[in-house]
Chains A and B, each alone.
Chain A
Amino acid sequence: MAQMTMIQAITDAMRTELKNDENVLVYGEDVGQNGGVFRATEGLQDEFGEERVFDTPLAESGIGGLTLGLAVTGFRPVMEIQFFGFVFETMDEVVGQIARLRYRTGGKYGAPVTIRTPYGGGVKTPELHADSLEGIIAQSPGISVVIPSTPYDAKGLLISAIRSNDPVFYLEHMKLYRSFREEVPEEEYTVEIGKADVKREGKDVTLIAYGAMVHTCLKAADQLAEEGYEAEVVDLRTVSPVDMDTIIESVKKTNRAVMVQEAQRQAGVGSNVIADINERAILHLEAPVLRVAAPDTVFPFAAAEDVWLPNENDVIEKAKAVLNF
């Protein structure tokens, strides 16, 4: 076992799969010699050569098209979009082309594609870098959306994504890249896509989150515990498809839930989770399911992040509201 940050775990996952399968290719802007702007691909080009790990011209739609073309010629592409906000430049290739390839060919061609991209607030980036756009991708059939919150999950989920014969959008929260280390096995292992994880057990209220908000919820749960409430924290890990079984099991135990997301409220992952809870477990609820989310504005200018992003006090407030309903 080694102590790894999330970014080290991500690099380790790519190294593992580059070793395991010669069809795996890793590429994107600045991914080669530079090792990526966050150093996620550090050392990989030296280790595996320029034919396996390489730079692309600076054009996201071109990168998306390259990916589909490499996929149909038998490769297993791991493409990087330098920042999630740049996905708009390649939305057609991602959701109009890659995600639809299997359907369009009646099941004949899968797209064994992994799309990695950093996102997430709290690191003061310029505009269109940090936005939580996962809901837009999650609404697109044919592609899974994975968001790890820990180094252990990051490695296991990325290996699963690369091995998947269908496309996976893999989101890396920038604030979590180097925020903490944990034990990560050096050997290979997988974490199943589409399976949530209970990050803290509790009997009084279920806090459902993903990405950096998992840690916000864990902090909130610590404080709630001091006041005598035991919160259960469910980390979705995959936001499309959502593991409703794990959520419903938790809600049936606690009878109360708060959905927490960094993204804006409207039409997001949380809306879908709450609708599903209502459909499947409304008679188990002692209170309405409440939501913690960012306001429905554009992602804020850097200096306003702190007043815009949801924090543990927001979570505690909503948790108490459902506890005392």
Chain B
Amino acid sequence: MKRYAYYQSCINESMTKEVDRSIELWQHDLGIEMVKMHESACCGGSNLDYVSPKHFALVNGRNIATAEKQGLDLVVSCNTCLMTIRSAKKKLDESADLRNEINEILRKEGLEYRGTSQVRHLLWVLIDDVGLDVIRKKVKNPLSKLRIAPFYGCHILRPSTVLGKDNPLEPTSLDMLLDALGGKTIPYEHKNRCCGFHTLLVAEEESLNVAAEALQEAMEQKADCIVTPCPLCHTVLDGYQGKALKQNGIKGSIPVLHLSEVVGLALGYSDRQLGIKRHIVTV
């Protein structure tokens, strides 16, 4: 059983609880264990870095140091947490001064940032550590009837200098996983575009226009559902779907599933067990 330090994303503890619930259900089936980091702090949601770059480095250096103390890689299931914590890691790895400054503070808590733990998305762990062949063999309920629009979201792709796993212009990781689960992904221009989440409270009209465009293309392509590896994208595309489509005069609706939920469905768990009933748009 390979173990990982599992970062507790704020949104998965409040609005999208079904993400962690579904991972807990199937993790052992795939030979992995996500050890919850109860001491982790909010990454700053791609805001703290400009409110105070030094607090940003401290908080995320501490998050990574906590994983390092356990000798585990830090795994997240939210794109923005991924990008944010990896950005902090990059800054800390590149600056001995910054590293020394935060370590001087962290030492009092018995922590030290060394840069030994990697910061990875759950999707990457499934592909690189578990392996698509193993996943294929474990599938009990292939998603063969589903035409899926894969929505990667921004912060698992861009900036590529911080992420670097997929080609941001032509990403393939989510498509590969969905293929291993027996699903059929459709060509989807919005796969690497934005959901609009980060301006929902600041420029709502713009955010909803962004979301509506992504939803509209998936519906026009006759997708049965959208699948995303990010709970923030899910919150806009599912929770705000009605409002976004109404604002843009678009009729219809489309279910939006979390990556962790489709893995669970393919491994034989029910929609009730996985928390899919909690979605705003009925699946």
Q: Do A and B bind each other?
A: no
Chain A residues with a Cβ under 8 A of chain B? none
Chain B residues with a Cβ under 8 A of chain A? none
